[in-house]
Structure 1
Amino acid sequence: MDIPKYAIIVAGGKGNRMNTQIPKQFIPLLGKPVLMHTIERFYFAASETKIILVLPQHHVEFWNNLVEKHNFKVPHQIAIGGASRFQSVKSGLNKIEEQEGLVAIHDGVRPFISKEIIDLAYQTANKKGNAIVAVQLKDSIREVSETGNDARDRNRYRLIQTPQTFKIGLIKTAYNTPETSFFTDDASVAEASGNEINLVEGSYYNIKITTPEDLQIAGIFAKKKWNNE
């Protein structure tokens, strides 16, 4: 029996660091919005995946116009986002009626996630309850404090990406807890509920587009990656 799979795509960014008039998730990349590329990654990985797109209420009409303009055919359901990422993800989770199955939670502005990583995250979450995509640090790091700064061993740290994938019942239960400022991602919410976090290998291609420099890099990645698929 096939396990139900969901993907919650969170797209509530305002694009302040991008210095553009439209939010970063709607900026064109190779002729269509970044967000459409991101949604397609999950659909192409497994077309049976049920996709939930979380948008602020005031972006819904704009998105629907883009869907019509670009003749975007990937099936998806819209959930209305909240004032924080925590509230937005919870809104997406509330659209899922099942307690059994898997859900991948992904940033709308990470359009280069690969099928291999998506599959690995689902497989690992099915076995262990969760799977958090991460990569090793490339640069040296220092910890800054009120008294100065100190070198740290970068091999002991990881940069966390998305998707962050969970058994549905596990993450729904975790999101029943009150929101705190410590909850910067879904892994921190799951961990606060007593779950051990499992890391899986991500990719340096899986960038989060938040600045003009990121968009330039994305243009290079897109031409190289997608033209070869």
Structure 2
Amino acid sequence: MKKVSVILPAAGAGVRFGGQMSKIFASLAGEAVFLRTLGLFRARADVCQIQLVVSPETLEHINANYPGHPGLVGVDLTPGGATRTQSVRNALANLPDVAELVCIHDAVRPCVTGEMIDRVIAEAADCGAAILGRAVTSTLKRVRSDGVIEKTVSRENLFEAQTPQVFSSDLITRAYDAEISATDDASLIEAMGGDVKVVESGPENIKITTPADLALAEAILQSSTR
């Protein structure tokens, strides 16, 4: 079993969400979103480190409102950067030597299942780089700048990239050292010419970005048998 360091970027979350508290602090099934996400990894035997990467504002809020919280035991609160890329780079600088894999997961994806995490970690342990992804099922249109449809895009073999995204420690560290511009961590590996496997996700693994997403996450957890 390879040891895994988990990085949860949350530095860009801010503290406001839909006029209320930040999405990471919003209550979901009786606990804050970020605490539920942390809980998905804290009990795993293969996890050797968890870093929650936060902004100074977020760190201040956590220290003021969650002092000594059991859900934060063993969790490193790592200072974030001005961008998500810089935040992850800061976390990579703190990897323990025993970490063979790095699992990067959105702090606002609290509904990913343990089975999904198992599969993507196992795939990355085998091939060096793997992400969760969801096959695109909607009809896709390429649209001109004036709002007129240019063409219908084939959705064959198209996937929505999700997290966790898991990589060998050496590979993801080299990718970040290269300072390539990319929209997600897997894109960095692609830019280096590396292969990244996609592991099929499920409908549960939503990203909370709006209050409506939070309501959907509540429904998912209520109907879940996990």
Residue identity matched to 2:144: S
Distance in 2 (CA, whole Å) between partners of 1:65 and 1:222 is: 28
User: Aligned residue pairs: how many?
Assistant: 224
State the secondary structure of the residue aligned to 2:195.
coil
How many Å apart are 1:17 and its aligned residue? 9.1
How many Å apart are 1:70 and its aligned residue? 4.9
Q: Are the structure 2 counterparts of residues 175 and 57 from structure 1 closer, same or farther at C-alpha, using a change threshold of 3 Å?
A: same
Partner of 2:154: 153
How many Å apart are 1:99 and its aligned residue? 7.6
State yes or no: 1:126 paired with 2:125.
Answer: yes
State yes or no: 1:39 paired with 2:34.
Answer: no
Partner of 1:103: 102
| Alignment of structure 1 residues 8-157 onto 2, 5 Å | 8-14=7-13, 18-46=17-45, 48-68=47-67, 70-98=69-97, 101-146=100-145, 148-157=149-158
Q: Are the structure 2 counterparts of residues 16 and 97 from structure 1 closer, same or farther at C-alpha, using a change threshold of 3 Å?
A: closer
When structure 1 is superposed on structure 2, of 24-33 and 96-105 the one drifting more is: 96-105
Distance in 1 (CA, whole Å) between partners of 2:44 and 2:105 is: 14
- Does the 8 A contact of 2:4 with 2:47 survive in 1? yes
Distance in 2 (CA, whole Å) between partners of 1:191 and 1:57 is: 32
Distance in 1 (CA, whole Å) between partners of 2:155 and 2:17 is: 29
How many Å apart are 1:15 and its aligned residue? 5.9
- Does the 8 A contact of 1:55 with 1:81 survive in 2? yes
Q: Which runs of 5+ in 1 are unaligned?
A: none
Distance in 2 (CA, whole Å) between partners of 1:62 and 1:47 is: 30
State the secondary structure of the residue aligned to 1:161.
strand
When structure 1 is superposed on structure 2, of 139-148 and 80-89 the one drifting more is: 139-148
How many Å apart are 1:46 and its aligned residue? 3.4
Partner of 1:167: 168
Q: Are the structure 2 counterparts of residues 221 and 78 from structure 1 closer, same or farther at C-alpha, using a change threshold of 3 Å?
A: same
Distance in 1 (CA, whole Å) between partners of 2:161 and 2:47 is: 27
- Does the 8 A contact of 1:15 with 1:210 survive in 2? no
- Does the 8 A contact of 1:13 with 1:23 survive in 2? no
Deviations 1:154-213 (A, max 9, x none): 122111100000000000000012252xx1110111111221121111111000000111
State the secondary structure of the residue aligned to 1:214.
helix
Deviations 1:14-73 (A, max 9, x none): 369941332211111122110000011112343644111101122112113343375435
TM-score, structure 2 as length reference: 0.90
Partner of 2:220: 221
Partner of 2:189: 190
- Does the 8 A contact of 1:100 with 1:169 survive in 2? no
Distance in 1 (CA, whole Å) between partners of 2:16 and 2:99 is: 38
> Percent sequence identity over matched residues?
33
More helix by share: 1
Residue identity matched to 2:54: L
Q: Which runs of 5+ in 2 are unaligned?
A: none
